[in-house]
Structure 1
């Protein structure tokens, strides 16, 4: 059995105070409840059934769950006190009263329900039961409050202990962080020094490689320049050697304007003795002039390879040509 007691104010009797006790079975008022109302002198008792609540919910066009929720708030005092109002109307025929409870919402009130209360024949007994229930409820609340205080004290001590441990842990954490930071600084400085040393070594190695590369490039350049100079020197000598042989022979021939060979070729009507003299003169004249020209050319450019071999066949070829010409004539 669940019981709730609350003080209510009756709008029809301002300044008066009533005590309302509600008893019900189960977890909610859906199965019905009993009501006891007293002003300290008289008492009235009534009962509301499940069918009555269903009819009132249907009349208000509310769901049963919503209606039960509003009814519990109004009768047990779980809701705001200004949201609900009560009124009493006497019943002359039975000598009882009708308790009506309403819900106020935005200056509009609508009736949640009403219950017919009959006068209690022994109001003192009803008042004593109400006082006993109030005392029991007070004792229960006091015991519960004491338990809650003890639990609160225990939790406060636990909180203090946890705070002390947290402070100790915080101090140890700070000390550990300081120690680790000092070690980290030492390790970091060593790593930095090692990195600087490696960077210095790397820079020196790069400088050495760059210097070696420059030296190799300079040596390659010098080698290439020397080879180019040798190529240029060899090319100049080839160019000088190529025209040297014809220049050495052609001027010797051009320097002989009155050559007997040329005259023999033009004067084909001459007699044989004169041609013999010319041929002898032709064999002597080039042999006397060519060594002088070749000696001068050799002094300037050096002895060309194969010059003596070329000149000897040339003289023999000239003598053979002259002999063939002489035999023809």
Structure 2
């Protein structure tokens, strides 16, 4: 049951004429209660389950939807909404808030009775605010420490990333240098193999030239003898 109880506290600023009020709300699954103070006087509103159900039926809402809407407008002063806390006789007050929904103006009202113990109600509101402030302060400290730890880790990751980039650049440079050296070595070996292959196909280029000259001379001599034979046969 405790887990389903929620609390809120709104600072309601009604301007210089009506002043500032603090509204503490206690929200349960089927009902709610309000404690209101201006610092001196206090008022209370205890909405029963039956009253909440009747109001929800009037607005054609489920009880849960009605309570959610009420908490929305009484948990924080909503911009664009018109609030009022007007006298309702016998020191009682009427709390109202109006807003527009789909072009229609809607106004909610709840009567708040003058409290018989102003000090007790004011003290309960102050206790809630002090406790909430302590929780928020602790949360700020925890979040600040967590942020500092995350900042340190982020700086470490950034430094490591920069180191990785440097190592990567150095590795790529060294790998490229090795690749160029291997490529040049392969080129030299290919040239050497080409030269050796050329020498294998033509082992004695001088002799080959001499053979070609001898063959040419023999061909010329043969042609000369043929000419002589033909001349001797002529009449």
Q: TM-score scaled by structure 1?
A: 0.51
Q: Which deviates more from structure 2 when the two are superposed, residues 15-24 or residues 102-111?
A: 102-111
In 2, the alpha carbon distance for the partners of 1:197 and 1:117 equals: 107
Partner residue in 1 for 2:223: none
Where relative contact order (Cα < 8 A, 6+ residues apart) is larger, the structure is: 2
Which is greater in Rg?
Answer: 1
Structure number with the higher helix fraction is 1
Partner residue in 2 for 1:57: 56
Structure number with the higher strand fraction is 2
Give the superposition deviation at 1:160: 1.5
**In the alignment, which of 94, 103, 107 is matched to residue 99 of structure 2?**
103
Partner residue in 2 for 1:85: 82
Give the superposition deviation at 1:54: 3.4
RMSD: 3.1
Q: Which deviates more from structure 2 when the two are superposed, residues 131-140 or residues 58-67?
A: 58-67
Partner residue in 2 for 1:269: none
Partner residue in 2 for 1:164: 159
Give the superposition deviation at 1:42: 0.7
Question: How many equivalent pairs are there?
Answer: 195
Q: Is contact 1:9-1:85 (8 Å) kept? A: no
Q: Is contact 2:14-2:83 (8 Å) kept? A: yes
> Is 1:3 aligned to residue 26 of structure 2?
no
Partner residue in 2 for 1:135: 130
Q: Is contact 1:22-1:36 (8 Å) kept? A: yes
Q: TM-score scaled by structure 2?
A: 0.69
> Is 1:16 aligned to residue 15 of structure 2?
no
Deviations 1:173-200 (A, max 9, x none): 22112111211222334455567778x6
Give the superposition deviation at 1:4: 1.0
In 2, the alpha carbon distance for the partners of 1:14 and 1:57 equals: 33
Partner residue in 2 for 1:292: none
Matches within 5 A, 1:195-206: none
In 1, the alpha carbon distance for the partners of 2:58 and 2:14 equals: 24
**In the alignment, which of 170, 175, 180 is matched to residue 175 of structure 1?**
170
In 2, the alpha carbon distance for the partners of 1:75 and 1:19 equals: 10
> Do the aligned partners of residues 103 and 196 (structure 1) sit closer, same or farther apart at CA in structure 2, a change above 3 Å counting?
farther
Q: Any gaps of 5 or more consecutive residues in structure 1?
A: 209-329
> Do the aligned partners of residues 75 and 127 (structure 1) sit closer, same or farther apart at CA in structure 2, a change above 3 Å counting?
same
In 1, the alpha carbon distance for the partners of 2:18 and 2:56 equals: 32
In 1, the alpha carbon distance for the partners of 2:149 and 2:109 equals: 48
Q: Is contact 1:85-1:104 (8 Å) kept? A: no
